């Protein structure tokens, strides 16, 4: 159906063209019939005129034969020549005269051949150089008293003048009329209007006799109606082609528009499906805060319908009452700085529940580059917040559990350390009692020395108990200026008995200068304890000559770098990316939280903890702590 108009135009053009061609054919047939009729009429008119001329010349010849006065005859011949413009030359030949009598005077006429002819005759057309005309000659004999030729009367007719004088204007206006030589097909006379063009249609007929070897030919001039019809056909075909091209162009653009509309519809359906499938709320607003667009996820987030939301201006019904001013201030600040921003806030659902949300907003720019508003994506992070809170609590509980588990491993060390000061206290107390019971005189200096030693050992036992209590006790981080050497030595003391039991050697490489850091002593001791314990467990099944732990302390810029290395089997390649993830372990009885807690503690101190693979074998854990100035 899209091509129906084009097909209709083509059919109409074909029908109009056929109609015009049929009319033209009828016109040609009619013109051919008229041409034949006019040609016959012209031929008859010329034939009649030539026969009349022939009779006039014969009559004049008879009058000359009767012996009339020569002057009268000349006057008569001159009159005949004057009234017939096609009659160019009249020659009177007489045997009694040496020269012929010729009109016009001075024309050099050709003498007749001997003997003189006895019959009238027409001669073929010839070109006369004296008059520069194509002439046809007719001669009639002049007889004497004994019926013998005594002369002849010859006339020469101009064929051009003959056509001009004998063919009326109304015929000459329609046709190009020419006389053609049959032998050479050369035009020898013409009655023509050179300003007009002839058509291809023509008709010719012989005029022999009386004109020997000559035929008459008529060609109609191209009529205005024929040119008009041709022009009309051209105009109709041109308009039809233009209309068809216009329809094709319109059809092309209609197809393009249809494709664009289909693409737009597909895009809208795709966008609608994408919007319906999104769990992230989308919201567009202008610079005044008026809502321009929301998606279904946003409507579900706040509990309002889209037609209820679009067009609303601040304050919005989902803003908590205590956050209205804060939200308005944020909007004003955003308009002053049109850059992408991200922030967290709260929304109040229509049912009254409060939601923690995260908003990412970017400037809404039109096609002229003008800032028209904001497009924001809203994510409900209430579950994430709750999960983070639970995770924080679990991590804290796991850290406490790790402390308690660590205490089980240092129990033997604590018992050994407490056994020495307590035994010393008992020994000093028993010595002092023995001295008093002996009754001997005791110097005050000896008694004071024993009691002071007893008090020192008692303080030592109390410090061990306090330090163990601080290590296990749950409390907030307390960062203060600490010297790094004692922290490392105390950490070694916790695991000292285990190192002796498994015959593991330790080397400690410390710089000569004292290094100070801002740290929570107990937390850093826990990190070192965990790293030392992991190294010890890696060396339990190693040969005796490889049971060695190296502790190296260096300075790198404004940080202290502490490295704990062992010569154990190292860490499997597939476990390296998982080392610091919670619950990732290759130990049979391990929980997989120690290294994760250690990294959290180091990052809390603005440091970094990482793993390095030595060039030979074993494993190296390195962490950094920012250095602090000590006055």
Q: What is the pLDDT of residues 372-420, one digit of tens each?
A: 888 888 888 888 888 877 777 766 676 666 556 555 555 544 554 566 5
The neighbour count for residue 207, using CB atoms within 10 Å, is 19
- The token duo for 349 is 């659902």
CA 380 to chain centre: 37
Report the pLDDT averaged over residues 314-332.
86
Q: Are 429 and 447 in contact (CB under 8 A)?
A: no
| pTM of this structure | 0.38
Q: Are 384 and 411 in contact (CB under 8 A)?
A: no
Task: Say if residue 166 is exposed, middle or buried (CB neighbours under 10 Å; 0-12, 13-18, 19+).
Answer: middle
Round to whole Å and give the CA distance between 348 and 325. 15
Q: What is the pLDDT of residues 82-137, one digit of tens each?
A: 888 888 888 888 877 666 778 887 777 777 777 778 888 888 888 888 888 888 88
Cis peptide bond N-terminal to 330, omega within 30: no
How is domain 4-220 classified at the CATH fold level? Beta-Lactamase (3.30.450)
Report the pLDDT averaged over residues 516-540.
87
Alpha helix segments (H runs only) across 66-197: 70-83, 159-166, 169-172
* CATH homologous superfamily for the domain 279-380: PAS domain (3.30.450.20)
pLDDT at 217 over 60: yes
In the chain, domain spans: 4-220, 279-380, 385-475, 479-631
Strands 548-556 and 559-566: antiparallel
Q: Give phi and psi for 74, each to the nearest 5.
A: -60, -40
Whether 479-631 and 279-380 are alike in CATH topology: the answer is no
Q: Are 481 and 462 in contact (CB under 8 A)?
A: no
Determine the longest span between alpha carbons in the chain, in angstroms.
Answer: 229
pLDDT bin (cut points 50, 70, 90) of residue 551 is very high
The neighbour count for residue 540, using CB atoms within 10 Å, is 12
The domain 479-631: what is its CATH number? 3.30.565.10
Sheet of 341-348, strand order: 291-294, 281-286, 371-380, 354-365, 341-348
The overall average pLDDT reported for the chain is: 80
Q: In the prediction, which pLDDT does 465 show?
A: 67
Q: Are 142 and 120 in contact (CB under 8 A)?
A: no
pLDDT bin (cut points 50, 70, 90) of residue 225 is low
Strands 505-509 and 548-556: parallel
Counting residues of the chain whose pLDDT is more than 70, the rounded percentage is 84
pLDDT at 587 over 90: no
Helix (H, G, I), strand (E, B) or coil at 87: strand
Comparing 549 with 479, which gets the higher pLDDT?
A: 549
Q: What is the pLDDT of residues 75-90, one digit of tens each?
A: 888 888 888 888 888 8
Counting residues of the chain whose pLDDT is more than 90, the rounded percentage is 6
Round to whole Å and give the CA distance between 112 and 467. 171
Cis peptide bond N-terminal to 345, omega within 30: no
Q: What is the pLDDT of residues 264-304, one digit of tens each?
A: 888 888 877 777 777 788 888 888 888 988 888 888 888 88
3-state secondary structure 261-274: HHHHHHHHHHHHHH
pLDDT at 581 over 80: no
């Amino acid at each position: 159906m899209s091509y129906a108009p084009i097909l209709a135009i083509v059919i109409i053009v074909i029908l109009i063209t056929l109609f015009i061609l049929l009319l033209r054919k009828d016109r040609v047939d009619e013109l051919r019939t008229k041409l034949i009729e006019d040609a016959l009429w012209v031929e008859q008119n010329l034939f009649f005129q030539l026969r009349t001329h022939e009779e006039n010349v014969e009559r004049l010849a008879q009058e000359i034969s009767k012996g009339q006065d020569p002057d009268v005859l000349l006057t008569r011949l001159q009159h005949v020549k004057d009234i017939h413009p096609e009659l160019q030359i009249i020659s009177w030949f007489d045997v009694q005269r040496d020269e012929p009598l010729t009109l016009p005077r001075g024309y050099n006429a050709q003498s007749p051949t001997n003997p003189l002819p006895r019959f009238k005759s027409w001669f073929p057309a010839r070109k006369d150089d004296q008059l520069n005309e194509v002439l046809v000659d007719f001669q009639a004999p002049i007889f004497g008293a004994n019926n013998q030729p005594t002369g002849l009367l010859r006339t020469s007719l101009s064929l051009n003048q003959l056509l001009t004088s004998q063919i009326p204007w109304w015929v000459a206006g329609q046709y190009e009329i020419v006389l053609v030589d049959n032998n050479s097909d050369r035009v020898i006379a013409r009655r023509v209007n050179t300003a007009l063009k002839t058509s291809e249609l023509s008709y010719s007929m012989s005029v022999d006799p009386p004109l020997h070897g000559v035929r008459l030919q008529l060609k109609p001039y191209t009529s205005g109606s024929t040119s008009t019809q041709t022009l009309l056909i051209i105009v109709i075909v041109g308009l039809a082609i233009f209309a068809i091209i216009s329809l094709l162009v319109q059809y092309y653009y209609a197809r393009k528009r249809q494709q664009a509309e289909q693409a737009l519809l597909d895009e809208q359906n795709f966008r609608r499906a994408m919007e319906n499938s999104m769990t992230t709320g989308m919201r567009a607003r202008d610079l005044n805060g008026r809502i321009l667009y929301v998606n279904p996820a946003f409507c579900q987030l706040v509990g309002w319908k889209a037609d209820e939301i679009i067009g609303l201006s601040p304050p919005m019904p989902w803003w908590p009452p205590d956050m209205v001013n804060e939200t308005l201030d944020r909007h004003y600040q955003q308009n002053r700085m049109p850059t992408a921003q991200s922030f967290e806030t709260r929304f109040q659902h229509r049912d009254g529940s409060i939601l923690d949300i995260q908003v990412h907003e970017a400037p809404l720019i039109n096609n002229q580059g003008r800032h028209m508003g904001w497009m924001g994506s809203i994510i409900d992070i209430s579950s994430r917040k709750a999960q983070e809170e639970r995770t924080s609590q679990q991590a804290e509980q796991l850290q406490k559990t790790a402390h308690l588990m660590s205490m089980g491993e240092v129990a033997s060390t604590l018992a050994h350390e407490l056994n020495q000061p307590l035994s010393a206290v008992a020994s000093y107390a028993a010595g002092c009692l023995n001295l008093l019971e002996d009754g001997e005189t005791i110097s005050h200096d000896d008694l004071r020395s024993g009691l002071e030693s007893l008090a020192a050992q008692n303080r030592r036992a109390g410090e061990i108990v306090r330090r163990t209590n601080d290590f296990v006790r749950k409390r907030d981080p307390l960062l203060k200026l600490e010297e790094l050497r004692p922290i490392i030595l105390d950490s070694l003391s916790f695991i000292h008995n285990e190192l002796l039991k498994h015959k593991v050697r330790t080397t400690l490489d410390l710089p000569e200068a004292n290094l100070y850091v801002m740290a929570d002593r107990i937390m850093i001791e826990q990190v070192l304890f965990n790293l030392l314990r992991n190294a010890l467990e890696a060396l339990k099944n190693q040969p005796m000559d490889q049971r060695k732990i190296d502790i190296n302390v260096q300075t790198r810029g404004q940080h202290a770098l502490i490295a704990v290395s062992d010569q154990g089997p190292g860490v499997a390649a597939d476990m390296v990316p998982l080392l610091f993830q919670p619950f990732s372990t290759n130990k049979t009885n391990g929980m997989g939280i120690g290294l994760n807690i250690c990294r959290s503690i180091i990052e809390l101190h603005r440091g970094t903890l990482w793993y390095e693979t030595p060039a030979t074998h074993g494993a190296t854990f390195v962490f950094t702590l920012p250095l602090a100035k000590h006055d």
